[in-house]
Chain A
Amino acid sequence: MATFRIKRFNPEKQPEPYFEEFNLDIPEAATLLDCMNQIKWTLDGSLSYRMSCRSAICGSCAVKSNGHALLACQQQAEHLVDDNDTITLEPLGNMKPIKDLVVDFTPFRDKINQVKPYLEPKDEAPEKERLQSQEEFLIIDDASTCIMCGACYSDCNTLEVDENFLGPAALAKAQRFVGDSRDSKTLQRVQDLSEPGGIWDCTHCGECVERCPKPARPFDRIKEIMTVALENGVHDNNGARHALAFTSSVKRQGILNENLIAPGTMGWFNIPGLLSLIPIGLRMLLKGKIPPIIPHSIEEVDDVKRIFKELDQ
């Protein structure tokens, strides 16, 4: 017998959410969604959640189980039971709950819309198909597996503090077009995606890759967009400058010289930008967080330089 601890919420009845427990024998080979259905159909019909295909392709049934977003239809319930024989279910994070496990997807969808998620072809359509090599297909294959379930969006650490961030799903969708050999707007796309809220606001925590139920793996796609942006010379923004300053520091000294990263990120001649850093610099000084002023290289710096040289080739 397992306990399903489910976060209930129905503002028609009471304004605050609460947890309710249901006990259920998990049938053999039952998925989490099977169990949710058992609860709904035999214990409490008022429990609301979304579901449709039950084969991990429609993306309806994403919920948080034991604190992490997943597709309920894709998981064997047995695997989710914790040491107390309990499975805790909550609605997805970073989106507003509507009722029980149902959340409002509007911001998620709006952000996907923002990345111009459609092909802008290079030329007039030919009579037959546009040719695309299998290698070119593979560049966009992973991103195209996204089912818009919202699991990545739910658990994204950046979104938790910055709701302007486009989020992993929208950026993965963007890569699907940035990488498409048939698309004409690559440069425009990477320029737009380098703006605040875009690729450089990702904190690289990798949570979205952990949560993604498909091979879409948003952070991997974000890195690919970053590469395309840098290759196309889209450097004129804090994110790209930060990445380049970081690389150049390690390349030169084999170690990060953090004192150079800040002006490198802001731009050496960006006086207002640099001035804006002074308060934070002072606060760091007071807390003893300022890195050593005199830069030094590591002993094996030549090895690092050799690695960079080989990578360049």
Chain B
Amino acid sequence: MIEHDVVIVGAGLAGMRSALEVCKELDVAVLTKVYPSRSHSGAAQGGIAASLGNSEPDSWEEHMYDTIKGGDFLNDQDAVEEYVKAAPRIIYELEHMGCVFSRTPDGKIAQRSFGGHSKPRACFSADRTGHAILHALHEQLMKNAKSVKIYNEWYMHSLVVDGDRCNGVVVSNIQTGDVEVIRAKAVIFCTGGYGRVYKITSNAFASTADGVMAAFQVGIPLEDPEFVQFHPSGLYQQGILFSEAARGEGAYLLNGKGERFMETYAPSRMELAPRDIVARAEQSEMDAGRGVNGEDCIHLDLRHLGEARIMERLPQIRQLAIDFLGIDCVTDPLPIQPTAHYSMGGIPIDKEGHVIVDADQTKMQGFFAAGECSCVSVHGGNRLGTNSLLEAVVFGERAGKSVLKYARGKDFGNVNEGQEKAKVLEKFEDIFQRDGSVSYNDIREEMKEIMMTHCGVFRDEEKLKVCIETLKGLQERFKRGKVTDKGKLFNTEIYEIMELGNMLSMAEIIAAAALYRQESRGGHFRTDFPKRDDEKFLHHSLVYDSPDGFVIKTKPVVITKYQPAERTY
């Protein structure tokens, strides 16, 4: 059995930032199913928010209010306050580590505008901010290589729990197929989101709900899973992210008639309204037949920005559009559509990163989480652009500090290695033994399609019920799938099948919570309940597993400074 004081699953911004904290005192392992530099945090383009005030006076209070209004008042305000207050220090620390930032003429970190933020507070590195931070943190891990053991290309299957305490994880080496148990005094999940359940998504192939489902399977609820963010500018039909920074720099959104339609939906903020509002506006235009060429497509027009500005501020995404669509945004508008981008919900945690199991903040001992896989909830019903990189770093650091406090002087818990291993080996064996005829690819495609059409930007009771029934059917067919590769060596097929299993469950959880929430708030819009309903639904939802299906409980929203108000832009 492998042993480490602490094991961190996931090596994106949250995972690496927490590792840098934990390695100061304890022996830490970071486990990733890719390589740290290939984590999906690196795909974030536009920026990371902090009220530095480098281009216009700004304050944490304004950042806090923008975040809460953007989240449609479902955010826990105590958490938001600590988070936005920490932001400037967090950015300066990244800069001190060597992170490469674009600069103002006087050499400070440059900042630009972003949707839903009333001030230009997105710190950025051209249009590859996530990449810049990811590599800066990775560099620091390499510097601390003696105290951090990295398990590249290892997959996490399940948590090892004993009562209310977490004692490790069961993992396997993708290269060799060997299953191992890692015993640890504390486990931190930084496993990211689950956008791959949707057909059109900006997410990497790796964003498949492994972490959240491992938590769910040991009895931990998932908080607010119905809140999935659709980003307004996914490249048409590919879903690949085309940064909101384009609109931050001044790009227009045009419908098929060439109109700047945001005038109708958010006259004061126009293209820079929060993402949920812009994505819905786009979908409404398309549904009304006003998409480009009558298709599910909107134009993002950057032409008036000029080549020099585009090359300075948005060079990478210009290249992306040339490579993927053969369109140069300097001379032509870009076809885009809403793309599933970010999960506001996830594993419930408190402000210190402890995983909690109920509305009374009861902690699961030795289990922590941070970043997109978690729900603290700083984003409420809708996250503002540039707030996710910030969340990953702030709460990554916090989880790291909490783990130090928790694990210092603790003993390892009891782990029955043989039994834990056997459970996972059985899972492998079960899949290998299936000699079914159903194509996993078909199941995956059907899941993605139904989630897009029935649980996407617009939802209603009827669609959601169909969605859930379809998913249940797919879960049955999944048991009769056909496997080709029965080898141990770098068998990517078997891992894709396990990921699909996780996604089929996750998709149903999203749909079930969406069916439960009979109101429209932030990223969750019910056409049969088009208004926000604070009387009935100003609370978080907690979805639990039970032998009779999902049980949904509620958890109050923490409101400190700002009472819910009407949300207009």
Residue positions of A touching B, CB distance < 8 A: 10-13, 29, 31, 40-42, 44-46, 48-60, 74-76, 98-100, 102, 105, 109, 112-113, 117-119, 121, 125, 127-134, 136-137, 140-141, 144-145, 147-148, 176-177, 180, 182-183, 215
CB < 8 Å neighbour of A13 from B98, B441, B487: B487
Rounded to whole angstroms, the CA-CA distance of A48 and B109 in the bound complex is 42
Complex CA–CA separation, A56 to B524 (angstroms): 30
Q: Is the CB of B142 within 8 A of A117?
A: yes
Q: State whether A131 and B204 are in contact (beta carbons under 8 Å apart), knowing that A48-B491, A57-B43, A60-B38 are contacts in the complex.
A: no
Q: Does B516 contact A (CB under 8 A)?
A: no
Shortest C-beta distance, A201 to chain B (Å), equals 23
A-B contact pairs, 15 of them (CB 8 A): A12-B487, A31-B324, A52-B34, A52-B204, A53-B42, A53-B205, A118-B142, A121-B96, A121-B98, A129-B95, A134-B104, A134-B105, A145-B128, A145-B131, A183-B98
Contacting residue for A134 out of B103, B135, B485, CB 8 A: B103
CA distance in complex: A144, B99 (Å): 9
Q: Which residue of A lies closest to B497 (CB)?
A: A45
Residue of A10, A41, A118 near B487 (CB, 8 A) is A10
Interface contact A102-B490, CB-CB below 8 Å = yes
Shortest CB distance B500–A (Å): 11
Cβ < 8 Å to A, chain B residues 75-129: 91-93, 95-98, 100-109, 125-126, 128
Measured CA separation A109–B241 after assembly (Å): 28
Q: Are the CB atoms of B439 and A42 closer together than 8 Å? A: yes
Residue of A nearest to B312 (CB): A134
CA distance A121 to B34 in the complex (A): 30
Contact call B37/A148, Cβ cutoff below 8 A: yes
Residue of A13, A105, A117, A144 near B100 (CB, 8 A) is: A144
Q: Known pairs A58-B34, A134-B103, A144-B125. 6 more at Cβ < 8 A?
A: A11-B489, A46-B484, A58-B37, A58-B43, A129-B109, A145-B131
The answer to whether A29 and B102 touch across the interface, beta carbons within 8 angstroms, is: no
Q: Are A129 and B100 in contact (CB under 8 A)?
A: no
Expressed in whole angstroms, the minimum distance between the Cβ of A146 and any Cβ of chain B is 8
Q: Report the bound CA distance from A123 to B320 in whole Å.
A: 38
Chain B residues within 8 Å of A144, by CB:
100, 125, 132, 135
Distance of B443 from chain A, by nearest CB (Å): 11
Q: Which of A76, A113, A134 has the most CB of B within 10 A?
A: A134
Q: How many A-B residue pairs have CB under 8 A?
A: 167
Contact of B38 among A10, A53, A128, A132 (CB under 8 A): A53
A42 and B441 contact, Cβ closer than 8 Å, known pairs A11-B489, A52-B205, A134-B105? yes
Contact of B490 among A13, A42, A99, A177 (CB under 8 A): A99
Nearest chain A CB to B480 CB, angstrom units? 15
Residue of B nearest to A55 (CB): B240
B435 within 8 A of A: no
Per the CB 8 Å criterion, the residue count for chain B at the interface is 68
Hey, which chain A residues are within 8 Å of B140, CB to CB? Answer: 118
Q: Is the CB of A141 within 8 A of B38?
A: no
Knowing A29-B325, A52-B40, the reply to whether A119 touches B97 (Cβ < 8 A) is: yes
Contact in complex: A48, B490 (CB < 8 Å): yes
Chain A positions within 8 Å of B528 at CB level = none
Are B142's CB and A130's CB within 8 A? no
Chain A residues with Cβ below 8 Å from B439 are: 41-42
- In the complex, B492 has a CB within 8 A of chain A: yes
Contact of A12 among B128, B139, B238, B489 (CB under 8 A): B489
A51 vs B139: C-alpha distance in the bound complex, in angstroms? 22
Instruction: Report chain A residues within 8 Å CB of B143.
Output: 118
Give, as a whole number of angstroms, the nearest-CB distance from A220 to chain B.
16
Residues of B within 8 A of A45 (CB): 440, 483-485, 493
CA distance A50 to B140 in the complex (A): 25
- Of all chain A residues, the one with the shortest Cβ separation from B104 is A134
Q: Which residue of B lies closest to A112 (CB)?
A: B142
Contact among A12, A42, A56, A182 for B98, CB-based, below 8 A: A182
* Contacting pair B38 A59 (CB below 8 A): yes
Residues of chain A lying within 8 A (CB to CB) of residue B441: 41-42
Q: Is A54 touching B240 in the complex (CB atoms < 8 A)?
A: yes
B43 touching A132, Cβ below 8 Å: no
CB < 8 Å: which of A100, A113, A180 contacts B142? Answer: A113
Q: Are B131 and A147 in contact (CB under 8 A)?
A: yes
**Docked-complex contact B34 and A60, CB < 8 angstroms:** yes
Give CA–CA (A74, B320) in the complex, Å.
8
Expressed in whole angstroms, the Cα–Cα distance for A141 and B100 within the complex equals 7
Nearest 6 pairs of A and B residues by beta carbon: A119-B98, A45-B484, A131-B107, A46-B485, A41-B441, A118-B139
A143 to B241, CA, bound (A): 23
Q: Which residues of A contact B125 (CB under 8 A)?
A: 144
Compute how far the CA of A109 lies from the CA of B100 in the bound complex, rounded to whole angstroms: 21
Q: Give Cα A229 to B488, complex, Å.
A: 48
Q: Is the CB of B492 within 8 A of A140?
A: no
Q: Of all chain A residues, which has the CB nearest B237?
A: A29
The interface centre, meaning the residue of A11, A125, A145 with most chain B CB atoms within 10 A of its CB, is A145
Interchain CB contact under 8 A, B34 and A40: no
| Residues of chain A lying within 8 A (CB to CB) of residue B483 | 45
Q: Give the residues in chain B near A131, CB-CB below 8 Å.
A: 106-108
- Measured between beta carbons, the chain B residues less than 8 angstroms from A51 are 205
Could you tell me the distance in whole angstroms from the C-beta of A208 to the nearest C-beta in chain B? 18
A54 to B202, CA, bound (A): 9
Within 8 A of A (CB), among B18-39: 34-35, 37-39
B residues near A113, Cβ cutoff 8 Å: 142, 145
- Measured CA separation A46–B125 after assembly (Å): 39
- Shortest CB-to-CB span from B241 to chain A, Å, is 7
> Are the C-beta atoms of B106 and A46 separated by less than 8 Å?
no
Bound-complex Cα distance A41 to B448 (A) = 15
Q: Provide the bound-state CA to CA distance between A176 and B92, in Å.
A: 19
